[in-house]
Structures are given as structure tokens and as C-alpha cells.
């Protein structure tokens, strides 16, 4: 080996080491050029064909053109290489032209195959990442929903997972629940900005604080998100008596994708104008064929077009949401049944204990009054007319009580023929006035067979207790005080309002 060859070999090795170092600093495309170039030089070094360097450079030109400019690049570089070769060889031959064309075709086929494989690999990689993200969202949502039966919390979890960047990434989501009794959709909850500026500000905060999906779910459970949007959504009641896109979504049991140009119907026009929508998707929430509601999604900030793949990504979550919502509603109904009196439809004694626990301990400025009510001579009425008519009297009296109290007052059936009323933020004097009006109204109301009662009318006795008359009151103390006042009223002749005169006189 001559000195020139050794010197050249050393330079090739140094160049190879240098290129191997800088490939970590370059882009993928640049690395391809480096790989091709170094491969040719190594090949050149191995066979020592220095006089054919320009042929290898021409092949390198064709390959680089194929990578960079595909078919057009190969065509131009092939013709250019042929003319360069012919110029240096002083030969113009069709055989050489065919050679370069064949070489160009082979290189084109190889680079096309490689490109297709790379695109396919990239596609499957992106699809795998996307599906993995969706599965992770479903997992986190499932875990979060299993930890609560509260309908509001479940709705927060659902729409947060739809709109969060670590979730499905839509800009805005709204939920409307179906009311079968009135055949309408009632707006319940929404998350998302009303305009682009508001959206960008929120995303900036999320990015700075690096919130995860589970963080956003926890945050939305403790605070009211987007109160302006929620106020608008909750003010919307959509009748399904007339044909509209929401009715069609539930009837057809499939998502409906709508562009802003399709606003010929009144309901759709209302949504587009109210929420400044340019594109939206209505997704039905169904549970075993039962209509649960509608999930609306759109992208008012990014204006990103909603694709079929985007819609498909929401459907599993919508199905899971429908199940959770329906179960939460059933749980609420069962809980209501457990807290309601089956005969009078008033809250029962268990509900009274629950409500009282929310008021105690009381602040020094709070006043909570309680009225205990008992029907006078009701045992005698039951013995005379039977329990069926007695039940009718209880139902009638419950209606009178319900129609006589204020909006914030709460009526209960305490047990048997006894009823009670909680009066929040009510002083003793006001409670006496309410009780007296109720006593007079019952006395003036006709009840079936009341003629057999003393004075030929049905009457009640009422006992009143107020928290400001008790020392360090508890729920039990308030009930006992009202019950004691009722007992005193019974002993004093019945058909009377009696106040507790206990701890503080």
C-alpha cells in the first residue's frame, strides 16, 4: 500500500468518525445524505477505483435527487448524469442512456418502497400512540367515575376528559340530558371558552402548571368551571316535539356532524349564533336503548376540522358516560325513594336527620326554627273510619302543608300523624306567624268525614322551637324542644300554636 493510499484511508476514517459524531446533531433527512455519502466513500476506499469517482458522484446525485424530489428529481438527475458522463467520456451512446435510465428506475423503485414503508410505519406508530392515549383517557375516566355516584361530578369528569389536552383535546363540550316526561333536552353543563382569547389564556395556564387529566378532573370537581358558559347552557331547554338536529341524533342513534353553513333549522341556528359555532358534532348518549342525553363538541378556538377519526374517538367515552349517567340517575331515584314518605310524598324522618346535619353547627348569626305538627284526635278518627280514610286525611294534610310554606321551608312526615317543618334563617316571631297561618288554613279546609271530629272540624296542634332559644343546640336538641312544645300544646287544649320556653327565656 502506497503512502498516498494510506493517507487517503486515514482521511476516510477521520471523515467517517466525524460524520458519525455529527449525525446526532442533524435532522433525519440530513442523516440519510450523510449515510449515503459515507457509504460511497467507504466503497470507493475498499476497491481503490479513484478514477471512477465521478461515476459514483453521479449515482450519488441520482439517489439524493430521488430522496429529495422523488420521480421528478430522478428524471432530471438521470438525464443530467448521462450528459455529464458523455461529456467526460467523449461518448454519446444509447446504451449508456438506457443504463442511466435503468439505474434511475431502480433507485426510484427502491426509494418509493422505502418511503412507503416509512410512511406506513409512521402511520401505525401515530395510530398506536393515539389509541394508547384514548385507552389511557378511558382508564382515568373509568377510575374517576367509579369513585362517585354524584351526577354533577360524573358530568364534570366526562366533559373534562373530552376537552382536556391530555384527554381527547376538543375545545368545548356541552351535555344536555333527556327528560322523558316532557320530551325535551335540558342543558346541564358545559366546559370550554366562549371565545378564542379566553381559550388561549386557559391553555397557557394549563401548560405552565403542567396539569394532567386527573388534575383537571379534580380541579373541576372542586370549582365551577366556565360559569358564563354554564349559565347559557343551563338556560337552554330544547323541545323534541319539533324536528331538529338533536331529535334526529337521538332517533338515528348515531353522531351527526354539522357545518355552520347548514343552519336552515331554527334550533341549529340558535346554537350557532349563541355559541359562535362553525362546526359541531352531536353525539347521542344511549344506555340499553334508553335515551340519556346529547354530548355536543366543537373547536371554537383552534378551528381544527373535526374528522371521522375524532368522532370515533369520542364514541367509547360517550357510551361509558351514558352508563355512568343512567346509573347515577337511578341511584338518585333510589336515594330519593329512601328519603321520601311513600304515602304523602314528603321527606321522611331519615331525611330530616340528614337535612339537620347540614345546618349544624350553627353560626352565631344563624336562626333555625322547627315546627312539630300533630293531628288532634286522629286515633279516634282512625278507629271510627278506618286506616284507608285515615291515609287519605294524611295525604290531604300533606298537600295543605306543602302549599302553605315558603320556598326555602322544608316539610317532613315525622311519623304516624306527626309532621314537621324546618324553617331556615327564621326567628321565633316569624315562625309563630307561619305556624298560626297554617293552623287557621287547616281549620278552614274541609276533610272527608271531619263532622265526626270534636267541633266538627279537623284541627292540628303545633309546637315551635328556635335555635336562638337553645344553649349550644344540636339537631337532637331542636327536635326535642319542638316536640316538648307540641306536647305542651296538646296538654293545653289542642288546636293551638305553642312555643318552647326552655334554655333561654
pLDDT tens for 272-318 read 888 888 899 999 999 888 899 999 989 888 888 888 888 888 888 88
pLDDT at 159: 75
Distances (CA, A) of 161 to 129, 192, 213, 293, 380: 17, 12, 7, 17, 62
Q: How long a stretch of residues is the chain?
A: 505
Between 63 and 474, whose confidence is greater?
474
Tell me yes or no: is domain 349-499 CATH 3.40.710.10.
no
Same fold, 148-336 and 349-499: no
Contact status, residue 336 vs residue 419, Cβ threshold 8 Å: no
> If you average pLDDT over each of 22-26, 99-103, 353-357, 391-395, which comes out highest?
391-395
Q: Is the pLDDT of residue 225 over 70?
A: no
Question: How does DSSP assign 433-471, residue by residue?
Answer: HHHHHHHHHHHHS--TTGGGSGGGS--EEEEEEEGGGSS
Q: Is the pLDDT of residue 474 over 50?
A: yes
Mean pLDDT (the chain, rounded): 79
C-alpha cell at 476: 337532637
pLDDT range class, residue 433, cuts 50, 70, 90: very high
Q: For residue range 379-390, list pLDDT tens digits in order.
A: 999 988 998 999
Is the pLDDT at 227 greater than 70? The verdict is: yes
Tens digits of residue pLDDT in 480-494 = 999 999 999 999 989
Q: How many Å apart are CA 412 and CA 398, to the nearest integer?
A: 9
Q: Where are the domains of the chain?
A: 3-119, 148-336, 349-499
The better pLDDT of the pair 192, 82 is held by 192
pLDDT higher than 70, residue 119? yes
Determine the average pLDDT of the residues in 452-461.
91
Q: What is the pLDDT of residue 48?
A: 45
Given this model, what pLDDT does residue 63 score? 66
pLDDT tens-place string over residues 74-98: 677 777 776 766 766 666 667 667 7
| 388, three cell numbers | 284507608
pLDDT-derived band at 163 (thresholds 50, 70, 90) equals: confident
Instruction: Please give the helix or strand (H or E) that residue 413 lies within, else none.
Output: strand 410-415
At 346-383, the pLDDT tens digits run 999 999 998 998 888 777 667 899 999 999 999 999 98
What pLDDT was estimated at residue 43? 54
403 preceded by a cis bond (ω within 30 of 0): no
| The pLDDT of residue 189 | 86
- Predicted pLDDT of residue 16: 59
Query: What is the distance between the alpha carbons of residues 179 and 137, in angstroms, rounded to a whole number?
Result: 29
CA distance 302 to 200: 9
Fold of 148-336: Beta-Lactamase (3.30.450)
Question: How confident is residue 333, by pLDDT bands cut at 50, 70 and 90?
Answer: confident
Main-chain dihedrals φ then ψ at residue 369, nearest 5 degrees: -110, 155
Mean pLDDT of 256-267: 80
Q: Is the pLDDT of residue 32 over 90?
A: no
pLDDT at 49: 45
pLDDT(262) > 70: no
Higher pLDDT, 433 or 148: 433
pLDDT cut 90: percent of the chain above it: 32
Q: For the segment 401-432, what is each residue's pLDDT rounded down to a tens digit? A: 999 999 999 999 999 999 999 999 999 999 99
- pLDDT for 61 beyond 70: no
Structure confidence at residue 98 (pLDDT): 74
Say which residue, 424 or 219, is predicted with more confidence.
424
Query: Residue 7: is its pLDDT beyond 60?
Result: no
* DSSP one-letter string for 5-30: HHHHHHHHHHHHHHHHHHGGGS-HHH
Q: Are 497 and 410 in contact (CB under 8 A)?
A: no
Q: 478: exposed, middle or buried (C-beta count within 10 Å: 0-12, 13-18, 19+)? A: buried
Q: Which of 105-109, 162-166, 218-222 has the highest mean pLDDT?
A: 105-109
* Residue 50: predicted pLDDT: 44
Full-model pTM: 0.58
- Residue 418 · residue 374 · CB < 8 Å: yes
pLDDT at 75: 75
Taking the CA atoms of 68, 70, 76 and 78 in sequence, report the sign of the dihedral they define: positive
What is the per-residue pLDDT for 51? 46
Instruction: Considering only residues 378 and 131, tell me which one the structure prediction assigns the higher pLDDT.
Output: 378
Cell numbers placing 357:
346535619
Return the pLDDT at 419: 97
Amino acid at each position: 500500500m502506497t503512502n498516498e493510499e494510506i493517507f487517503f484511508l486515514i482521511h476516510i476514517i477521520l471523515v467517517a468518525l466525524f460524520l458519525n459524531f455529527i449525525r446526532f446533531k442533524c435532522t433525519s433527512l440530513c442523516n440519510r445524505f450523510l449515510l449515503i455519502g459515507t457509504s460511497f466513500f467507504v466503497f470507493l476506499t475498499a476497491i481503490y477505483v479513484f478514477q471512477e469517482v465521478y461515476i459514483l458522484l453521479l449515482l450519488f446525485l441520482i439517489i439524493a435527487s430521488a430522496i429529495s424530489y422523488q420521480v421528478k428529481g430522478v428524471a432530471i438527475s438521470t438525464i443530467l448524469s448521462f450528459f455529464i458522463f458523455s461529456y467526460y467520456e467523449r461518448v454519446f451512446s444509447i446504451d449508456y442512456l438506457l443504463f442511466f435510465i435503468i439505474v434511475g428506475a431502480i433507485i426510484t423503485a427502491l426509494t418509493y418502497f422505502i418511503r412507503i414503508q416509512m410512511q406506513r410505519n409512521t402511520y401505525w406508530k401515530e395510530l398506536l400512540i393515539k389509541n394508547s392515549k384514548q385507552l389511557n383517557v378511558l382508564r382515568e375516566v373509568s377510575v374517576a367515575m367509579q369513585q362517585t355516584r354524584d351526577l354533577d361530578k360524573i358530568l364534570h369528569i366526562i366533559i373534562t376528559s373530552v376537552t382536556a389536552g391530555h384527554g381527547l383535546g376538543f375545545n368545548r363540550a356541552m351535555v344536555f340530558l333527556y327528560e322523558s316526561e316532557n320530551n325535551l333536552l335540558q342543558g346541564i353543563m358545559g366546559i370550554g371558552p366562549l371565545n378564542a382569547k379566553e381559550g388561549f389564556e386557559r391553555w397557557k395556564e394549563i401548560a405552565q402548571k403542567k396539569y394532567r387529566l386527573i388534575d383537571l378532573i379534580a380541579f373541576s370537581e372542586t370549582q365551577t368551571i366556565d360559569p358564563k358558559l354554564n349559565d347559557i347552557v343551563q338556560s337552554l331547554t330544547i323541545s323534541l316535539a319539533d324536528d331538529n338536529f338533536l331529535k334526529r341524533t337521538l332517533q338515528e342513534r348515531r353522531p351527526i356532524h354539522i357545518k355552520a353553513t347548514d343552519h336552515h333549522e331554527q334550533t341549529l341556528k340558535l346554537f350557532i349564533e349563541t355559541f359562535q359555532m362553525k362546526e359541531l358534532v352531536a353525539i347521542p348518549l344511549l344506555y340499553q336503548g334508553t335515551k340519556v342525553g346529547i354530548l355536543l363538541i366543537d373547536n371554537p378556538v383552534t378551528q381544527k376540522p373535526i374528522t371521522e377519526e375524532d368522532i370515533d374517538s369520542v364514541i367509547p367515552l360517550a357510551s361509558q358516560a351514558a352508563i355512568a349517567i343512567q346509573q347515577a340517575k337511578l341511584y338518585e331515584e333510589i336515594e330519593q325513594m329512601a328519603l321520601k314518605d311513600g304515602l304523602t310524598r314528603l321527606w321522611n324522618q331519615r331525611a330530616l336527620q340528614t337535612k339537620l346535619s347540614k345546618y349544624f353547627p350553627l353560626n352565631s348569626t344563624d336562626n333555625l326554627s322547627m315546627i312539630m305538627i300533630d293531628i288532634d284526635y286522629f286515633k279516634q278518627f282512625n278507629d271510627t273510619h278506618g286506616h284507608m280514610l285515615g291515609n287519605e286525611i294524611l295525604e290531604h294534610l300533606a298537600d295543605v302543608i306543602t302549599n302553605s310554606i315558603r320556598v326555602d321551608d322544608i316539610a317532613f312526615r315525622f311519623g304516624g300523624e306527626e309532621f314537621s317543618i324546618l324553617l331556615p334563617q327564621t326567628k321565633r316571631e316569624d315562625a309563630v306567624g307561619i305556624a298560626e297561618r297554617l293552623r287557621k288554613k287547616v281549620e278552614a279546609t274541609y276533610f272527608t268525614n271531619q263532622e265526626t271530629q270534636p267541633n266538627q272540624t279537623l284541627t292540628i296542634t303545633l309546637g315551635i322551637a328556635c335555635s336562638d332559644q337553645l344553649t349550644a343546640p344540636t339537631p337532637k336538641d331542636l327536635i326535642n324542644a319542638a316536640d316538648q312544645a307540641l306536647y305542651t300544646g296538646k296538654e293545653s287544649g289542642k288546636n293551638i300554636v305553642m312555643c318552647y320556653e326552655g334554655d333561654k327565656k
